[in-house]
Each structure stands twice: as structure tokens, then as C-alpha cells.
Amino acid sequence: MKEAILYKKLENKEILCYLCHRMCRIEDGARGFCRVRENRDGKLYSLNYGKAVATNIDAIEKKPFYHFKPGAEVFSFATVGCNFRCEFCQNWDISNAFKEIHGEELSPERIVEITKEKNLPGIAYTYTEPTIFMEYALDTARIAKKEGIFNVFVTNGYMTPAAIKEMKGLIDASRIDLKGFDEKTYKELCYNVELEYVLQDIKELHKVMHIELINLIIPGYNDGEEDIRALSKWVAELDKDIPLHFTAFYPAFRMMDTPPTKLETLKKARSIAMEEGVRYAYTGNRGDVETESTYCYNCGELLIERRGFGVIENKLKEAKCPKCGKKQNIVL
């Protein structure tokens, strides 16, 4: 447990937490929407600090990051809790584990030590939503940066501008969920989330670090051509070099009756994105080598071939196409 950042004291020991866009007003003795930040006698505490509920060594492509340190392995960890309530959550058993704040006692120092012992170049804050363990993440990132270790967030993009300011210079890249391009998807499937705040945060994160976007395509909800085209157009207008991943949904949590996404649907979405000007569009979760590999936007040369979460071949040197010489938006 540690005193939280980004909160304001109000009258009668009430607190306003402005870590994320939920902007919770928390009475004495109560917790915020994330269920891991608690008001104790007028002070806000992060209850999940130092308690890692999940740890693993992952390929960075699993997150997925395709344009940041391709082929790297990272130490990944999470705590319990989340500021969304997604009906389709793949990690619901830990994101919704609110009754008891459990996890392995793992200090920021120890996480960096493990990363160094395993000879890993980076750390990923992932599995649940890293915004809700921001203090833990940033303390770890500060130590990691001193050791030359990079840090990446896998996030729903619902932190406030104040939180993004805290991340600047410590978090090197963020992979952000853009779950759909209409309010209905966010309201109904993620529990009253405002799409506009997600779009705002994508813009702000883009200003200070490398970003990649993922759109989980859910049959019957956000798989319409009109929505995919609008989303793709928005991304292209923001920056046509932002990698955009269309990934397959599989039945999970409260959406066990919704069918998996077909590969044909993902390929169609990828084609639409490229028609709208997105230079790097991908499919995911379906194991299609062709549409999960990276090509030069200028001449079409195969640059990075992937199979599953593995890099089979990386032809890039200094992030330039070996055939035409064009610079690619890839951090090696």
C-alpha cells in the first residue's frame, strides 16, 4: 500500500481522484470505481502497490507491438483491478478480483532485478489496466530507465492528461485499445466509457511516445464497414504511420455466446484501413503470416515476417527499407 498520486482533498474527508477519466469522488472509507484505490481518513491509497498478481516473459509481439523493438522479449506483470468493466474481458479473473487485493509481493526494485537477471531489454505493464497501478508502474519505470531498460504500457487509454504528464519520459511506448468508433460499443460493453476521452488520450500519448492501436473486432457490435472506415480514417488523419491492429474476438467472460471473429472479417478491415491511408495495418489472433507481417509502405517490400508471436525474419537496418531506402515508423 502506498499513498496515491493525482487526487484532491475535498470537504468532510471526501477525495476527488483524477488519475483516470472516471474522476471518482470517494468518501472516507470507500474505494474508487477501480476498487484498488481507497480513501482512508482523507488520504487516498493505492492498495495494489507492490502486489503482482500475474507475471510472465512474453514476446513483445504478443501485446501486440509490431513497430517497437520487434523480436524483443519483455518481463510482463499486472495487479488486480481495472477502471473498465468489459463484458468480453479475457483476464476478468484478475481485472475483477475486487474483494481481496491479492498478489505476490514484488517490489519495483525486484522487478528490475528479475528483468536484468533474465537479460531482458524491457518491461511491459499489461494483462489488466496499468493506469490503476500507476504508482507501482512509474516507480518501477524510474529504476528501469536508469538501467537502460525500456517500459511499455498495454492500456485502454482512459488516463487523464495529468497522468500522461507523469508517464512522459518514463514510459517509452503505449499500445492502446480503440474498442470501437461509436459511443454504443463503449457504453454497453465497457460500462459507461466516453469514447471522446479515449480519442483525446490517444492524441496526447501520441505527442510524447510511440503508440500502436488495436481494434478488437466483435461480431455484431463493431464489425460494420461504416464503423471500421470511420475509425481508420480518424487514425490516418491523426498520423498515417500509426500501426493499427485488427484482432479477433473469442468468446469470453459474459459474451460466451458471441461467435469468434472470422479471418475474412479482419482482412476486410485491414483493406479498408489501407484504403483510408493507414500505412501499417495488421490482423491478429488468427495466425495469418501475410497480414501479420510488415511491408514497406512505399514499395511493398516484405520487411518483417511474423508467424504467431514470433519474428521469422527482420530485414530492417536503421529502420529503412532495404529495397527503396524509405524510413519506416519502427523503433529498433
Q: What is the DSSP letter of 301?
A: -
Give the class (CATH, top level) of 51-292: alpha beta
The pLDDT score that the predictor gives to residue 187 is 93
Q: What's the average model confidence in pLDDT over 88-103?
A: 89
Residue 275 has a pLDDT of 98
- Please write the tens of the pLDDT for every residue from 238-285: 999 999 999 999 999 999 999 999 999 999 999 999 999 999 999 999
Question: How distant, in Å, are the alpha carbons of 34, 162, 301, 304 from that of 273?
Answer: 34, 31, 19, 20
Q: Where are the beta strands (DSSP E) in the chain?
A: 2-3, 7-9, 15-17, 25-26, 37-40, 43-46, 51-52, 54-59, 73-78, 104-105, 122-125, 150-155, 173-177, 210-217, 244-248, 281-284, 294-295, 302-307, 310-314
Buried/exposed 2-35: b ≥16 CB within 10 Å, e otherwise? eebbbbeeeeeeebebbbbbbebebeeeebbbbb
Encode 129-163 in three state secondary structure: CHHHHHHHHHHHHHHHHHCCCEEEEEECCCECHHH
Picking from 229, 238, 222, the residue whose alpha carbon sits closest to that of residue 190 is 222
Kindly report the length of the chain: 332
Q: Is 14 helix (H, G, I), strand (E, B) or coil?
A: coil
In the chain, CATH 3.20.20.70 covers 51-292
Rounded Cα distance, 332 and 329, in Å:
10
pLDDT above 90 coverage of the chain, percent: 96
Contact 183, 192 (CB under 8 A): no
pLDDT tens-digit map of 204-238: 999 999 999 999 999 999 999 999 999 999 999 99
Interval 158-191: pLDDT, tens: 999 999 999 999 999 999 999 999 998 999 999 9
Q: Could you tell me what percent of the chain has a pLDDT over 70?
A: 100
Residue 190, classed as helix, strand or coil, is helix
In 3D, which of 115, 201, 108 has the Cα closest to residue 150? Answer: 115
What are the backbone dihedrals phi and psi of residue 59, each rounded to the nearest 5 degrees, phi first?
-70, 140
Q: Judging by DSSP bridges, how do beta strands 173-177 and 210-217 pair with one another? A: parallel
